[in-house]
Structure 1
């Protein structure tokens, strides 16, 4: 029985020696192996393939091609951005021109409206100073809408004098137009006596 524990101790001692030997070899060979597998940074540059295997060279070629594609893509994006900036500036310029044209048009329309208003006011003043019988003859030959517009601007007494002397059908048509304008402006037609 005394032989079995001695054998175990001998095997344990032998295993310990093998383990120590492996550790020593790893410690001595490790730095040298690391230098071969992973050379210092200054030894490898991007374009330097010396000391690389065919797989490494193929990988470097793929990386170079990918870098060239990315450079080309970046240049395309920069060109598109420049084109967009030019288009945006042109759009802004056209928008400014449009706003200026709208302002000029509004000023022209306002001037035309003002001139038309002055013309109608002057025409109204002229017809107020014409004798009612003569004015009635002129108004009877006018377009109904136009005659109603002029009469609506006159003083009520001048308009009444002219209406009473106008052709009866024309006076009625002008009265209907005047009443419709008042109704559209919020007034009401007089109720009929039914």
Structure 2
């Protein structure tokens, strides 16, 4: 196909006609008089420019819609993040309350074992989980804890003493 080279003023007129529309061109003062399209090549170029304009407008609409969708999704994500942060704070608060309650109960348990006969208390503590036994011993006065350890089997007393002093890792 042979390429037709248009004079610059004609090309500018065609581009203006496509982007502004014929009604706007004639309504503007001082605008160029656009002559009716004469050749097939001029019509083909004009049609091509109109198609390109329509395609660009369609793409612009699609981009606007995607932008709105993205903004909506971003709002939704931000809302979910806020909800998760609230839940995380509530969870941390519940954990802190549980830890405080456990510490309080362990303190009360320590007082109970402290008031018991050291032989009986040593027999019971020997059967407990080492972590719980250490917590109980830590909550007792030193003299009472010493009496308890004195009344335990040597291996168990040594094991609890090591764990209590953090010599042996957990």
Please indicate the TM-score interval, normalised by the length of the shorter structure.
0.7 to 0.9
Aligned residue number for residue 99 of structure 1:
85
Structure 1 runs (4+) greater than 6 angstroms displaced: none
Superposed, which structure 2 residues align to 1:68-147 within 5 Å?
68-147=54-133
Computing the radius of gyration from Cα coordinates, the structure with the larger value is 1
Decide whether the 8 Å contact of 2:162 with 2:168 is kept in 1. Answer: no
Q: Distance in 2 between matches of 1:85 and 1:135?
A: 66
Q: Distance in 2 between matches of 1:52 and 1:87?
A: 48
Structure 1: stretches of 5+ with no match in the other structure: 1-36, 185-194
1:109-167, Cα deviation, whole Å (9 max, x unpaired):
11111111111111011111112222122222223332222112211101111111222
Whether 1:152 and 2:126 are equivalent positions in the alignment is: no
Whether 1:51 and 2:36 are equivalent positions in the alignment is: yes
Structure 2: stretches of 5+ with no match in the other structure: 1-8, 24-33
Give the aligned CA root-mean-square deviation in angstroms. Answer: 2.5
Q: Distance in 1 between matches of 2:157 and 2:114?
A: 17
Decide whether the 8 Å contact of 1:140 with 1:166 is kept in 2. Answer: yes
Q: Distance in 1 between matches of 2:77 and 2:63?
A: 21
Q: What secondary structure, in the 3-state scheme, does the structure 2 residue paired with 1:53 have?
A: coil
Decide whether the 8 Å contact of 1:144 with 1:170 is kept in 2. Answer: no
Q: Distance in 2 between matches of 1:94 and 1:129?
A: 52
**TM value normalised by structure 1:** 0.65
**TM value normalised by structure 2:** 0.73
Whether 1:64 and 2:59 are equivalent positions in the alignment is: no
**Which one has more relative contact order, counting CA pairs under 8 Å at least 6 apart?**
2
1:48-91, Cα deviation, whole Å (9 max, x unpaired):
88632113322221221111111111111111111111110111
| Aligned pairs, number | 143
